[in-house]
């Protein structure tokens, strides 16, 4: 029996579009089939990776990329909110800032990664400043930002917002163990609410419970992001004609931050894969459930399998079948699930430190863009 929401949308179902089947012809292929895009299997210098994206919003707000170098790999998952402009901007600019700073410093380090985030933030705020006169709501557009880099046997993870990276490692009993490499910068977490209150002791409304959901200033759940200029600088305060973004009192100092949480780890023999995903996946799967799926099923199509499992669960919660959910149009689909991006990076330890004959490529999620990677700009400075 359909729920009330399922009945409402049943009249708006789009014509059925077949999702591409998993078969050998699909391996490594980028496909755009309705609202689902994927590359089931590709090679990076340290193993394989699989990527998939499903759209729920009228305009896709998730953007992503994988950059493959001769002995390094870069992964980015950018979950936008309020629009797609910030997440797309991060996809098009953050990696370039990272490469520039790495070349200037002669290495990749936590400081280089942090400064790449700051450079991207500053560049986006400059864009907002130039365009807010004709498009004022760009001041309310932001993006979570999750980045992973594997270089010379070291894993770097940097995060703003509530996308998540999970490391799958073999435990003593040879069972897979899911280790979170990020913490959610989300006001639903008690730790984040306490952090915000300690940073703003003179603001009793810095975190507000609104309709059962904790929100920063009663507006937004994430406490760190790229963009969201109106919550960072008074010059971007929005006109009262936009009540959704109205602050109860004038902004005196930033309430959101672009300071990433950074985690660094030397890869160990028991480390088998990393799952990078926007929060749309984690709304429906636990860390351990996701890790066990990756561990127990073939690599080919594994990112797509994770998305299908999440969508099946989203449909079940609304008393629907997965096949019925697939027929719901974008926009209306957002009542059931968020845009979801999943990238799984497998680690083959025999490849760590080896010069592998792997093409340097750049894969941009959902837009079927595959081209040469800018990792080549690091040639001659000891990074590749």
pLDDT band (50, 70, 90) for residue 359: confident
Is the pLDDT at 18 greater than 70? The verdict is no
Residue pLDDT, tens place only, 156-193? 999 999 999 999 999 888 899 999 999 999 999 999 99
Cα–Cα distances in Å, from 130 out to 86, 238, 239, 254, 309?
A: 14, 15, 17, 20, 42
Find all residues with CB under 8 Å of 357, minimum gap 6, and list them: none
pLDDT band (50, 70, 90) for residue 26: very low
Backbone angles phi and psi of 151, in degrees to 5: -150, 125
Classify the phi-psi angles of 152: left when phi > 0, otherwise alpha if psi is within -120 to 50, otherwise beta.
Answer: left
Q: How far is Cα 237 from Cα 366, in angstroms, rounded to an integer?
A: 33
Q: What is the pLDDT of residue 173?
A: 85
CB 62 within 8 A of CB 365: yes
Residue pLDDT, tens place only, 231-246? 999 999 998 888 889 8
Q: How large a percentage of the chain has pLDDT more than 90?
A: 75
CB 48 within 8 A of CB 299: yes
* Residue 251 CB neighbours (<10 A): 16
CB 118 within 8 A of CB 258: yes
Q: Which fold has domain 4-186+222-378?
A: Phosphatase 2c; domain 1 (3.60.40)
| Helix, strand, or coil (residue 222) | strand
Q: How far is Cα 278 from Cα 159, in angstroms, rounded to an integer?
A: 11
DSSP class of residue 332?
Answer: G
CB 277 within 8 A of CB 287: no
Q: Is 2 exposed, middle or buried (0-12, 13-18, 19+ CB in 10 A)?
A: middle
Q: How far is Cα 372 from Cα 383, in angstroms, rounded to an integer?
A: 17
pLDDT band (50, 70, 90) for residue 24: very low
Predicted TM-score (pTM) of the model is: 0.90
Cα–Cα distances in Å, from 253 out to 98, 203, 228?
A: 28, 11, 13
Sign of CA dihedral 282, 283, 289, 292: negative
The string of DSSP codes covering 39-84 is EEEEEETTEEEEEEEE--SSS--EEEEEEE-SSEEEEEEEEEESSS
pLDDT band (50, 70, 90) for residue 369: low
H or E segment to which residue 285 belongs: none
Identify the CA nearest to 76 among candidates 245, 276, 300, 345.
276
H or E segment to which residue 21 belongs: none
Backbone angles phi and psi of 162, in degrees to 5: -120, 20
* Residue 14 CB neighbours (<10 A): 14
Is the pLDDT at 196 greater than 70? The verdict is yes
Q: Which residues pair with 274 in a beta bridge?
A: 167, 345
Sheet containing strand 36-44, edge to edge, reads 30-33, 36-44, 47-54, 340-346, 271-277, 164-170, 176-180
Residue pLDDT, tens place only, 280-331? 999 999 999 999 999 999 999 999 999 999 999 999 999 999 999 988 999 9
Q: Which residues pair with 276 in a beta bridge?
A: 165, 343
């Amino acid at each position: 029996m359909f729920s009330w929401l399922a009945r409402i949308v049943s009249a708006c179902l789009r014509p059925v579009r077949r999702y591409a089947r998993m078969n050998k012809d699909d391996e490594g292929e980028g496909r755009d089939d309705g609202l689902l895009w994927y590359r089931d299997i590709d090679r990076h210098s340290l193993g394989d990776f699989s990527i998939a994206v499903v759209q729920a919003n009228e305009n896709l707000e998730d953007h992503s990329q994988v950059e493959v170098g001769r002995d390094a790999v870069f992964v980015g998952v950018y979950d936008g909110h309020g629009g797609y402009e910030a997440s797309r901007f991060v996809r098009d600019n953050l990696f370039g800032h990272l490469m520039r700073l790495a070349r200037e410093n002669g290495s990749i380090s936590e400081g280089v990664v942090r400064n790449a985030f700051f450079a991207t933030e500053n560049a986006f705020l400059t864009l907002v400043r130039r365009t807010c006169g004709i498009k004022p709501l760009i001041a309310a557009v932001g993006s979570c930002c999750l980045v992973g880099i594997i270089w010379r046997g070291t894993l770097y993870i940097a995060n703003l917002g509530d996308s998540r990276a999970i490391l799958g490692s073999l435990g003593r009993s040879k069972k897979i163990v899911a280790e979170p490499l990020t913490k959610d910068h989300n006001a639903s977490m008690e730790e984040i609410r306490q952090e915000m209150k300690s940073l703003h002791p003179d603001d009793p409304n810095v975190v507000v419970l609104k309709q059962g959901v904790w929100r920063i200033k009663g507006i937004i759940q994430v406490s760190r992001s790229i963009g969201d200029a109106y919550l960072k600088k008074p010059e971007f305060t929005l006109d009262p004609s936009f009540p959704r973004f109205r602050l109860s009192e004038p902004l005196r100092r930033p309430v959101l931050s672009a300071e990433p949480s950074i985690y660094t780890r030397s890869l160990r023999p028991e480390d088998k894969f990393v799952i990078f995903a926007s929060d749309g996946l984690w709304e429906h799967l636990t860390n351990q459930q996701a890790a066990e799926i990756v561990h127990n099923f073939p690599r080919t199509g594994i990112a797509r399998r994770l998305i299908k499992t999440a969508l099946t669960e989203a449909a079940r919660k609304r008393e629907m079948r997965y096949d019925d959910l697939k027929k719901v149009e974008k926009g209306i689909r957002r009542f059931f699930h968020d845009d979801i991006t999943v990238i799984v990076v497998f680690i083959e330890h025999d490849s760590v430190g080896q010069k592998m004959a792997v093409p340097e490529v750049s894969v941009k999620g959902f837009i079927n863009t595959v081209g040469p990677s800018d990792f080549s700009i690091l040639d001659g400075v000891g990074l590749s």
